Structure 1
Amino acid sequence: MHESEDPVAQLTDAECWERLSRQELGRLVTRVGNVLDIFPVNFVVDENTIVFRTAEGSKLTELTINDEVLFEVDDHTEVDAWSVVVRGTAHRLDTGDEVEHADGLPLTPWVPTLKFNYVRVTPTSLSGRSFRRGEEPDRYGVQQY
């Protein structure tokens, strides 16, 4: 990206999936009624879906009440940054074939707790942006017309 180009660029779906597949930690946003919750989860990309493991508890309960979720992942360096948001539905994997497939994914809990439940987030939409980092332009000087 050149200095004269816009410092914010839209990512294609392929670029979004490529960036998601390089990460391990994301944020799951749930909503039940007027209550929003956000949970950090480690995850893997599996065939253009997001899969994570969870124990019984509020996350799984909330997904059972309302399966509509947001899933966000981002990263940054000294020179650039990016963010990808997946809007979709989440469901607990419960068939033998689903669980067997998920057992073969490179997905293990980060904390030493038992997490027997796999959840798959299936996207309904995907969006991403990349950002060129730099100094803020002069806010009070002569403005271009």
Structure 2
Amino acid sequence: MSPDACLLALESNTLGRIAIAVAGEAEIFPVNYVLHEGGIYFRTAPGSKLLGLTANPNVAFEIDGFDDITAFSVVVKGTAERLEMQSEIAAADLLELAPWAPTAKYRWVRIVPNTIGGRIFRRGPEPDRD
């Protein structure tokens, strides 16, 4: 996928998965997000996800999707930053992003991408084995 197609896919979706290291183990968490000014923003609550991001901010973020004809995957590798300045938090609160789960998630995190890549492929049956 071209860089523009990857960004369009990120702008058009709202659910992704963040991969982080927690206590030396790989963990993957689903998050709803918004792409804003090149950063991926999501909200979280205190817990293992936030602790993992604090201990090691290097993350991978992935979205995917499909229709009857094609499927795609976009992977972002970057640095997760917890928003701590009140001006940044206030600006993030204006983004249209509400938690999907009925929990209090008041901590904002921004992923600053280092690389963005993606692939798209045509769906179809498995070819015959020879």
Determine if the TM-score, normalized by the shorter chain, exceeds 0.5.
yes
Q: Residue 21 of structure 2 aligns with which residue?
A: 31
Amino acid of the structure 1 residue aligned with 2:73? S
What is the CA distance between 1:12 and its match in structure 2? 1.1
Quote how far apart the aligned CAs of 1:127 are. 0.5
Pick from 46, 53, 56: which aligns with 1:63? Answer: 53
Match of 1:86 among 64, 76, 80: 76
- Find the residue that maps to 1:136 and give its secondary structure: coil
C-alpha separation in 1, matches of 2:24 and 2:95 = 34
Residue 126 of structure 1, aligned match among 111, 116, 128:
116
Alignment RMSD: 1.0
Q: What is the aligned length?
A: 130
Percent pairwise identity: 48
Displacement, 1:138? Answer: 2.3
CA contact (8 A) 2:22 2:49 kept: no
**Larger Cα Rg: Structure 1 or Structure 2?**
1
Q: Once the 2 structures are TM-superposed, how far is the Cα of residue 139 of structure 1 from its aligned partner?
A: 2.3
Shift, 1:34, TM fit? 3.1
Structure 1 unaligned segments of length 5 or more: list them. 1-10, 141-145
For structure 2, the residue ranges without an aligned partner over 5 or more in a row are none
Aligned to 2:91: 101
What's the CA shift for 1:46? 0.6
TM-aligned CA deviation for residue 32 of structure 1: 3.8
Aligned partner of residue 18 in structure 1, secondary structure: helix
Q: TM-score, normalised by structure 1?
A: 0.87
SS in 1 for 2:101: coil
